[in-house]
Amino acid sequence: MAKSREDLVRWSLQKAEEYLESASMNLQNDRLYPAAEEIFRVIETSLEAMLYHYGVKKIEYPGRKKFTGRLALQFLIRDTLMSFGRIDRETYDKYLDLASKLHKGGYTHGKSFEKGFLEETLQFAEELFYRSKSLG
């Protein structure tokens, strides 16, 4: 794994770009469920890159019991990016909404996605990716 903050940012952006390419390809080939998962990964990984850029060293939320994983990421995005005006409330709310629709959809039997919704969501993911990339 990366050793410096810059390495973490670079690694996150590289992963986000790979997910973006995969999501676009899956969407073009009407593989909607894999496209949805990859789109969500682009969003999360782009936000991780922003967190690393602004000084977060690890996706871990402090407290009596440390939170890790997706829950820690949500708290860190709120406390590090949104609270300091690095992303707006609308972007944060959209991220949380998409977390429910895209990621949690994987746990719902028979869940399907509309192609138009995924195309719109991919555009949001691309904007977030390029916004993250412009920080470096």
Furthest CA-CA distance within the chain: 46
DSSP 107: G
DSSP 101: I
pLDDT in tens, 58-97: 999 887 888 888 889 999 999 999 999 999 999 999 999 9
Domain extent at residue 114: 5-135
* Predicted confidence (pLDDT) at residue 106 exceeds the cutoff of 80: no
Domain at 87, CATH number: 1.20.120.330
pLDDT in tens, 20-60: 999 999 999 999 888 999 999 999 999 999 999 999 999 99
**Whole-angstrom Cα distance, residue 16 to residue 3?**
19
In terms of pTM, does the model score above 0.85? yes
What is the sign of the dihedral through the CA atoms of 129, 133, 53 and 2?
positive
Query: Please, are residues 19 and 38 in contact by the beta-carbon 8 Å criterion?
Result: yes
Cα 82 to Cα 50, 54, 91, 115: the distances in Å are 11, 12, 9, 29
Number of domains observed in the structure of the chain: 1
Report residue 133 as tokens: 């990339």
